[in-house]
Structure 1
């Protein structure tokens, strides 16, 4: 039976995204993480220390969503929170040693799943797919009036215009964690 959106790019994208999240989710369970939490760990690994506001902005979620996820990760011993000296309203978050180890394991896991996704793609196809997905994300962000797409550093030696970072967790997924 032919799926209802067989000729739709959106349908294919949703199916690939669902399969990706499922594959990542299965592997994250072995690390005591749920889908969405790994992106918080990855963001903190890249930045070192972040305020809760900066973390929410990076993940493109509401501050209460980021706070709830951080609370859960803190309970697992993966992150620690500290109030800013002089202004207790500002909370800084960083990974613990356990969290740093999780970040390394997450990176390996993502690399493995990425290899599965791109099996049979040559380097030119990989770059083209990445570029097309970023362009689609920009179009959707523009249509939705979403701001905050920071340009990434040059990728693979491409001299194309700066492209936004794409990977942002589904806020509903993070809220459910």
Structure 2
């Protein structure tokens, strides 16, 4: 099997540059309302379903606790979310939107609309790209799990 080593033929590079461009475009627009990209996706998850546990947020966002904990702390400090201890022993922590966090949704919707309008792709192409990106993510995760082999 012959492999092509040209940079512009590498799938990983195409995905890298596309992701970098997308996050950069969002970063600039989100900065106008004081959000980072990871705060933005965290808010998206909470707008979808408020009151998620910290572990559930980590799973949904694909973030480890070393990244998620400081992120949630900053978001609580800026008044976007509040953390609540749940259960008899208080070990389960759930994350809830504040009025400020809920209030950003319409501004974020405007940013999303502006960015989608700026992309030279129609709705069908964007839907296909999203589907393929998700499928690639799941597939590469399965392949990576298979390459790691049994643990000792």
TM-score with structure 1 setting the length: 0.71
Displacement of 1:37 in angstroms is: 1.1
Hey, what's the Cα distance between the residues in 1 that align with 2:23 and 2:102?
Answer: 22
Cα deviation code 1:95-139 (max 9, x no counterpart): 10100112332233223223323x2x3444333323322222222
Please list every run of 5 or more consecutive structure 1 residues that lacks an aligned counterpart in the other structure: 147-177
- Counterpart of 1:108 in structure 2 is 110
- Counterpart of 2:61 in structure 1 is 59
* Count, aligned residues: 141
Q: Alpha carbons of 1:15 and 1:92: their partners in 2 closer, same or farther (altered >3 Å)? A: same
- Counterpart of 1:10 in structure 2 is 12
User: Which one is further off, 101-110 or 28-37?
Assistant: 101-110
Cα deviation code 1:40-72 (max 9, x no counterpart): 111111111111111111111122322211100
- Counterpart of 2:144 in structure 1 is 144
Hey, what's the Cα distance between the residues in 2 that align with 1:43 and 1:37?
Answer: 10
Looking at CA atoms only, which structure, 1 or 2, has the larger radius of gyration?
2
Displacement of 1:85 in angstroms is: 4.2
Matches within 5 A, 1:21-170: 21-117=23-119, 119=120, 121-145=121-145
Hey, what's the Cα distance between the residues in 1 that align with 2:54 and 2:123?
Answer: 37
User: Which one is further off, 5-14 or 86-95?
Assistant: 5-14
Q: Alpha carbons of 1:62 and 1:130: their partners in 2 closer, same or farther (altered >3 Å)? A: closer
- Counterpart of 2:21 in structure 1 is 19
Choose between structure 1 and 2 for higher RCO, CA contacts under 8 A separated by at least 6 residues. Answer: 1
Displacement of 1:16 in angstroms is: 1.4
Hey, what's the Cα distance between the residues in 2 that align with 1:124 and 1:50?
Answer: 31
Please list every run of 5 or more consecutive structure 2 residues that lacks an aligned counterpart in the other structure: 1-5, 147-152
Hey, what's the Cα distance between the residues in 2 that align with 1:85 and 1:110?
Answer: 37
User: Greater helix percent: which structure?
Assistant: 2
